Chains A and B, each alone.
Chain A
Amino acid sequence: MAATLDRDLALRLDVIRRDHGDSVKIDEVALVVRGLLDTVDGDISAGDLRLYRELEGLADYIHSAKAEIVQLRPAEIKTEFIASATDELDAIIGATEGATNIILDSAEQIEHLGTMMEPDVAERLTEITTRIFEACNFQDITGQRISKVVKVLKEIEVRVETLVRVFGQEADLHAPRKTPKEVSSDEDLLHGPQLATDAHDQSEIDRLLASFD
């Protein structure tokens, strides 16, 4: 009986491997476990019974894990949340770099003014601009720290992608859809700064305001 069981199981696993490769759906795994349990039913010892319970527990665990992961909407995490977070971080780097360069421009101009001043004033201006140059170090450090966070997010993205692949399209199809949020309170209006691609510029705001007149 054991040899028949092994052969049946091996055949079934071969079919699954052929159809799905390494990304086997959880339902398929659960079916194999159930099939295995059905086969040994009626011919079980106390040890087999313990194994049976363990496997049943495992199948239940897999099912509940699957349900929880589907609720997380992994595809949405990848396409929406992570993409949006990395865009925001890139925008921070761009904005701080722009501001730093303006500060440096101004400091260089102040330093140049020193050549037109009395020596003691010029020296004082040099001290002040030195402090400004030193303080601008922050931009490099901030950029490097943010790059590290972006790298972590990319790593999470790769793992979520693997999750989506393992679950096939199920995770997306069975996931409860997020409906566009209605603006129902003042809090819903708090979006924070917009990315340049999404933001209205002042002239668009002016046009919108004028449209109420």
Chain B
Amino acid sequence: MAVDKNMNVLIVDDYKTMLRIIRNLLKQLGFNNVDEATDGSMALQMLRVGNYGLVISDWNMEPMTGLQLLREVRADAKMKAVPFIMVTAESKSENVIAAKEAGVSNYIVKPFNAETLKMKMTSVLGDF
């Protein structure tokens, strides 16, 4: 099944510049319905009321980290199936393992390029 590029994508990062970079890269990949949150708790509120086909989240944020957000998402019956990609500078094995155990769909290490973003999105959503 073809990926619906009109799906809502939620990007979460406490660096507004990074949100802007990801939004632009998504736009170039054809995804224009992009919402932004600047920390985990804000993202959680948006996910509870919105209908999102993908979450792309940073890890290191306050007060709620990306990992906590991921756990909340996976524990919620309504949201638990939403694909969740972690985009972070945390590149230690223990981080990747913790994210995997929490149910992450894929993991991108910063700094990343458009090709990596597309590849990881394809592995989670299918070809587009």
Contact = CB atoms under 8 A, between A and B. Distances in A.
Contact of A134 (B17, B60, B113): B113
A130 B18 CA distance: 14
Interface in A55-90: none
Interface stretch (A26-34, A96-104, A186-194): A96-104
Interface string A101-119: 1001001100100000000
Given A134-B113, A137-B111, A139-B17, A104 B24 contact: yes
A117 B110 CA distance: 33
Given A100-B17, A104-B17, A133-B21, A138 B28 contact: no
Q: Which secondary structure dominates chain A's binding surface?
A: helix
A14 interface: no
B28 A136 contact: no
Interface residues of B, number: 16
B110 A141 contact: yes
A97 B114 CA distance: 21
Most buried by B among A104, A137, A144: A137
Contact of B21 (A104, A111, A126): A104
A140 B17 contact: yes
B119 to A, nearest CB: 14
B110 A137 contact: yes
Given A130-B114, A138-B111, A141-B89, A97 B17 contact: yes
Interface string B6-46: 00000001010110110011001000000000000000000
B14 to A, nearest CB: 10
B112 interface: yes
A143 interface: yes
Nearest to A103: B17
B32 to A, nearest CB: 13
A133 B114 contact: yes
Given A133-B114, A137-B111, A138-B111, A143 B21 contact: no
Contact of B110 (A101, A108, A140): A140
A143 B114 contact: no
B20 A140 contact: no
A190 B89 CA distance: 35
A104 B18 contact: no
Interface in B73-117: 89, 110-114
Contacts of B13: 140
A126 B28 contact: yes
A136 B17 contact: yes
A37 B75 CA distance: 68
Interface of A: 97, 100-101, 104, 107-108, 111, 126, 129-130, 133-134, 136-141, 143-144
Given A111-B24, A143-B15, 8 more contacts: A101-B17, A104-B21, A134-B21, A134-B112, A137-B112, A140-B15, A140-B18, A144-B60
